[in-house]
Copies of this chain bind each other. A is one copy, B any other.
């Protein structure tokens, strides 16, 4: 089989542990993998088929570790409302009407935005997941997918949801050249009875898959857990065996010291969603403490309706900014750490070993920022520029699994005009039904 080998010259590559965080020089890609990064070419290697990387900063593709992509259809449909009003009057009545077609176009809209903005891997917890997997397969993005199940229903409905979750996870794990992996995901401790959660834990063991759930997003939810089960959510999930599997919890806003210590001990990862947590007034997660305790913290946008975009540069910047402002420590979550949250720790959070860093041997998931812009001058600290000055719109090129999916800001794998048209039509359909 012929190997598709090509290289980038004159590039600036964000390489962990390098001086100033950046290596200037060459990167070689063979098929789906990075095989070399260095200042000079290896002996015997010639400059062939070299893309000129001058004026570009190459970063690992960004990894969005929590979201509900199809909710893009509800972007701006009710903002600045009290949480229960927003959920009960705006989100839930519309979501109840979502068909698989709605999920397909809503997810397409989000994946289009994510790819163009430099996100190369996204986690999605929703319903009609076959549609989400189809979008991932077709678009070329990498995805960690799961049927999120709310257990506030009859046992029969619970059984159906669990079966759907298992079938989806089994059918799609490792598909699309390995770009799709799956997880098991009961929605949250406050929406799932303990026995229902335990069934997901058992299924995760049976399928050898990781677990994902929402946890400790709001104070009300923590208090309810204590009322209902006599335990805070971390102890509650621990008791149900949740952390006996590799697991990722979304939000983790309201955690005490003991809970942080337990998450660290159990190796539980936390998806920090700063934009959503602020917008929904959930609070500010204790990220510096989590990181100090050794917890793997990654970044998620959450659904587009509570964000309201899928710009992972914004989440990086929020993570770098808010913990300084709230803690009073200007050294909290420095730029290089914020970039790791969005890349290396993101990969670790969802159990992907070969993405999240530019390194020989890793999968070729990477992006290029156009540095030739006023807000990236002067050329001081490029990692600082990427975190404190950049936005999704600065992404010029994106590769996933060695394949270019965005070129000069245009998505090569998705029909942008059709998606925008169909997403708008889907929203209007939801309004009219």
B325–A283 touching, CB < 8 Å: yes
Sampled A-B contacts (28; CB under 8 Å) = A72-B374, A75-B375, A76-B388, A80-B330, A80-B335, A82-B331, A109-B374, A109-B377, A110-B374, A113-B375, A116-B374, A277-B325, A278-B321, A280-B330, A281-B325, A281-B330, A307-B388, A309-B375, A311-B375, A374-B423, A375-B392, A377-B424, A378-B424, A378-B426, A378-B428, A379-B427, A391-B391, A393-B394
Contact for A377 among B72, B374, B382, CB less than 8 A: B72
- Range, interface on chain A: 35 or more
A284 contact set on B, CB distance < 8 A: 325-326
Which 5 pairs of residues, A with B, have the shortest CB-CB distance? A278-B325, A76-B380, A378-B427, A393-B393, A80-B334
A322–B375 touching, CB < 8 Å: no
A321 contact set on B, CB distance < 8 A: 275, 278-279, 318
The yes or no answer to A347 lying at the interface (CB within 8 A) is: no
A423 to B374, CA, bound (A): 9
Q: Measuring CB to CB, which residues of chain A are less than 8 angstroms from any residue of chain B?
A: 72-77, 79-83, 86, 109-110, 112-113, 116, 275, 277-284, 304, 307-311, 314, 317-318, 320-322, 324-332, 334-335, 372, 374-375, 377-382, 384-385, 388-389, 391-394, 416, 419-420, 423-424, 426-428
A320 contact set on B, CB distance < 8 A: 80, 279
The prevalent SS among residues of A at the interface is: helix
A80–B281 touching, CB < 8 Å: no
A420–B377 touching, CB < 8 Å: yes
Using known A-B contacts A378-B428, A427-B378, determine if residue A330 contacts B393 with beta carbons closer than 8 Å. no
A77 to B393, CA, bound (A): 24
A380 contact set on B, CB distance < 8 A: 74-77, 427
Contact for A283 among B81, B328, B389, B427, CB less than 8 A: B328
A12 to B126, CA, bound (A): 34
Contact for A378 among B73, B81, B279, B283, CB less than 8 A: B73
Distance from A425 Cβ to chain B, minimum over Cβ atoms (Å): 9
